[in-house]
Amino acid sequence: MLKVEHVTKYYDQLKAVDDLSFEVQDGEIFGLLGVNGAGKTTTFRMIIGLLEPTSGKITLDGKPIDYHVTDQIGFLTEERSLLTKLTVKEQILYYATLKGMKEEDILKQLDKWLERFQISEYKDRKIKELSKGNQQKIQFISAVIHNPKLLILDEPFTGLDPMNVELFMKVIREFKEKGSSIIFSSHRMEHVELFCEKLVILLKGKSVLAGELQQIKKDYRKKNIHIVGDVEEKEIKNIKGVLAVEKTSQEMIVKIAEDKVIDDVFEVVKKGKHITSFRVEDPTLNEIFLSKVGEAYEK
Amino acid sequence: MKSKLKYLTKQSFKKKVNTKWFKAVNIILLVLFLFLANIDRIISLFGGDFQEEETILLKDESNVTDLLETTLTTLFSTYQQDRNYKVLRSEEDIQTLKENLNDQEKNIIIHLFDDEKNYLQAEVISYEEISLTTKQMIVSALQSVKEEVALQRSPLSLEEKNALMMPISIQMVTLNDQNSEENKEIVGMIAAFLFILPCFFLILMLVQMVGAEINDEKTTRSMEIIISNVSPQVHFLSKIYASTLFVVVQALLVFLYAVISFGFRMLFSGGGSLSGDMLNQVQMVLHTAQETGIVNLLLQGLPFLIILFLSSFFLYAIVAGVFASMTTSLEDFQQLQTPMMLIIMIGYYLAIMATQMEGAIFIKAVSFLPMLSFLIAPVLFLIGQLSLWELAFSSLITVIFTFIIFHFGLRIYKVGILNYSSSKLWRKMFQSLKKK
């Protein structure tokens, strides 16, 4: 289990992370979200031991982060972290040896992973000769080849086509099932929603929203009503508690402030014609993110 | 962590050696050494005017032709092996010989006359100005013949004549024979070939190598992955060790190429012994080196010289590593390394000047300065201006200085390698010096 307790980090006078606390249990996928410059990279750097917190404590299974502990961490950086002049085999051997693996084990695991990602033929090719997507696969393999206890994935789907995104997701879920703690960071909220049970949203180094995703959605009182059919738009807009009405080619989406407005909207919809669907949905994480970050900005 | 240091060092060394450029450069070096060692033969192989035969025609009106012919042939075969001379006697009249010079521009006519008073007179006729060496040979031969004629005509007894003809016995006595000008020149030459030039180039190579490798890792985020698994100290040490090991290996290879090249020359010189001007000179230098005690001096100072060179290599690698960690691109590093290159240049010139400016206090003082001492101290030691203990002291200063630079340099390195921005760079670096 990863435990981040009241961690603060200053760069000179700038407070990059402000009293941040969260836990990632074994077999859990945790979302660490935030706009650019929110303090995510600083937090990752502190977790992998590159930076020392100014105050607070970070532990993995109760042990403070040191070079024995970092051997159990896998880190996929957002930007490329490959040595492009090396071949795939040399690159993986290099990083995995630094993680304490033996050459024999690395080569066995490498063959397995290359086959899994259908890139066995690139084993002796130089990294710089590979496509962006294949480079991302190599970067992913280098992060997971040593079966890490903690896996940090910063924008893992960059440069991947939908097929490979699916493949990555499958592998990440397998690590979760095996009991690894996973920290996931992405600007694509639909990906975070698909994965994360718990999350924290950072803004200017401070947590503005934290907790279990289901609970966050529940606590966020606003809902979306999806209607298919002919409904009087003006009448819906006039209902108290309706925040906005959006029309697409197929449906009308009514954004409401709280649950009790649903009945009022339903009364108007009943009067409409050709109604085929009336569906109440929780807001998307993207909406929650924008709303929370927006509120915090205003403050 | 020790095994990771070993692995990183091995990996870094392999990365430098297992490249096609390393192999290509070493093949080129070997070819160039072979070329240099055999340059005179290669020039001869392609021929040129210098190979044209020069005929010295003797027109004698004094009956000393045999003597002059023998003397000239001996002189030319002893001192001018590479040139093609032929000494012939001519029966043709002098006017015809002179006319023939228009067609045979290389020929020289020596017209000899008997002289009652001065024993011998000569007229040397050529189409063009005779080269200085040839002129000296002819003058020397004529003088010798004249002396011989004079002796023959003198009333001296055979014994007296023999005593007169015997070369003079000269015994050279120099009270301070260790510091003769000639010796100093040879020592300067040995020092330049052994230390100054190789070290100069090796340090240039070392600085470039460390800088390029660290920058390569810094330009991607791979540095973050590496430093999350090994400490900056281990990473830094691995770069220093690998680069130093590389330049040492390269130096040994260059030495090997030199041995192969001279071996190749010996093998094809027939008889298996050193021959030719260049090799004679090498042989002479080695012989003088042994005679003047340089070999003994080298052996005495060898442990300190090795310490001095290795610690200086480490020192330059550390400084280059620190500079590379501070910069964010290879271009920035190349700018930052310029002062370091100038320091090496200063050391290079001072080392060359040390053999010419005897007793220069400034040069002696600089021989104790780290970063410069490895170029100057060995030269001063070999020409006897630095004692063994002073050489040891110079080495000790460099070792201590290297440790201090590593200690503080590591603090900058720790911050620098994870710094991707050049804003407030110097402030960040000075602040990092305070952090332990």
**Per-residue pLDDT tens digits for A162-191:** 899 999 999 999 999 999 999 999 888 888
Q: Which of the four pLDDT bands, split at 50, 70 and 90, describes residue B174?
A: low
Chain A CB contacts of B225 below 8 Å: 75, 77, 81, 95, 98, 142
Q: Which of the four pLDDT bands, split at 50, 70 and 90, describes residue B88?
A: confident
Locate the chain A residue with the closest alpha carbon to B230. Answer: A67
* A226/A212 same-domain check: no
Distance CA A36, CA A30 (A): 19
CATH of the domain at A166: 3.40.50.300
CATH of the domain at A225: 3.30.70.920
The mean per-residue pLDDT over the stretch A34-43 comes to: 87
What letter does residue B195 receive in the DSSP assignment? I
* Per-residue pLDDT reduced to its tens digit, A193-205: 888 889 998 888 8
Residue A294 lies in a domain: no
For residue A5, the tally of other CB atoms under 10 A from its CB is 15
* Per-residue pLDDT reduced to its tens digit, A96-141: 999 989 999 999 999 999 999 999 999 999 999 999 999 999 999 9
Nearest to B381 by CA among B371, B393, B370: B393
Give the end of a domain, one of A217, A240, A266.
A217
Locate the chain B residue with the closest alpha carbon to A46. Answer: B228
* A99/A226 same-domain check: no
Mutate: best of B2, B213, B229, partner A, most A CBs <10 A:
B229
Chain A CB contacts of B8 below 8 Å: 98
**Beta carbons within 8 Å of B427's beta carbon, 6+ residues apart:** none
Domain edges within chain B: 2-40+181-434, 49-165
Residue A298 lies in a domain: no
Q: Which of the four pLDDT bands, split at 50, 70 and 90, describes residue B81?
A: low
| Residue B216 contacts A, CB cutoff 8 Å | yes
CA distances from A140 to A157, A168, A193, B223 (A): 10, 9, 21, 16
Q: Verify whether the Cβ–Cβ distance B220 to A81 is below 8 Å.
A: yes
Residue A291 lies in a domain: no
Residues forming beta bridges with residue A245, ordered by sequence position: A254
* A78/A131 same-domain check: yes
Q: Verify whether the Cβ–Cβ distance B11 to A94 is below 8 Å.
A: yes
Helix axes B2-17, A88-98, angle to 10 degrees: 160
| Residue B11 contacts A, CB cutoff 8 Å | yes
* A206/A86 same-domain check: yes
Comparing CB atoms, the residue among A70, A83, A84 nearest residue B229 is A70
- The CA distance from A177 to the nearest CA of chain B, in Å, is 25
Distance CA B126, CA B323 (A): 67
For residue B346, the tally of other CB atoms under 10 A from its CB is 16
Q: What pLDDT does A125 receive?
A: 95
Supply B72's token pair. 């000239």
* A54/A139 same-domain check: yes
Q: Verify whether the Cβ–Cβ distance A50 to B217 is below 8 Å.
A: no
Domain residue limits at A175: 2-217
In percent, the amount of chain B with pLDDT more than 90 equals 25
Chain B CB contacts of A99 below 8 Å: 229
Q: What pLDDT does A47 receive?
A: 94
* A234/A113 same-domain check: no
Interface size A-B, in CB pairs within 8 Å, comes to 55
Backbone angles phi, psi at A151, to 5 degrees: -120, 120
Locate the chain A residue with the closest alpha carbon to B18. Answer: A86
Residue A144 reports pLDDT greater than 90: yes
Considering the domain B49-165 in this protein, what is its CATH number? 3.40.190.10
Least confident of B94-108, B168-182, B297-311, B386-400: B168-182
Chain A CB contacts of B230 below 8 Å: 67, 98
Chain B CB contacts of A82 below 8 Å: 220, 222
Q: Verify whether the Cβ–Cβ distance A79 to B226 is below 8 Å.
A: no
Comparing CB atoms, the residue among A45, A48, A82 nearest residue B222 is A82
Q: What pLDDT does B278 receive?
A: 58
Q: Verify whether the Cβ–Cβ distance B222 to A85 is below 8 Å.
A: no
Q: Verify whether the Cβ–Cβ distance B228 to A70 is below 8 Å.
A: yes
* Per-residue pLDDT reduced to its tens digit, A261-280: 889 889 888 888 889 999 98
Terminal Cα-to-Cα distance of chain B (whole angstroms)? 20
Residue A298 reports pLDDT greater than 60: no
Supply B65's token pair. 């032709």
* A181/A228 same-domain check: no
- The CA distance from A55 to the nearest CA of chain B, in Å, is 16
Q: What pLDDT does B159 receive?
A: 82
Comparing CB atoms, the residue among B220, B221, B229 nearest residue A71 is B229
Q: Verify whether the Cβ–Cβ distance B221 to A45 is below 8 Å.
A: no
Instruction: Look at strands B108-115 and A55-60 and give their pairing.
Output: unpaired
* A86/A134 same-domain check: yes
| Residue B228 contacts A, CB cutoff 8 Å | yes
Q: Which of the four pLDDT bands, split at 50, 70 and 90, describes residue A287?
A: confident
Position of tokens 């100057």? B376
* A63/A185 same-domain check: yes
* A163/A34 same-domain check: yes
Give the end of a domain, one of A199, A217, A235.
A217
* A58/A169 same-domain check: yes
Domains in chain A, number: 2
Residue A45 lies in a domain: yes
* A194/A266 same-domain check: no
Supply B249's token pair. 């290996």
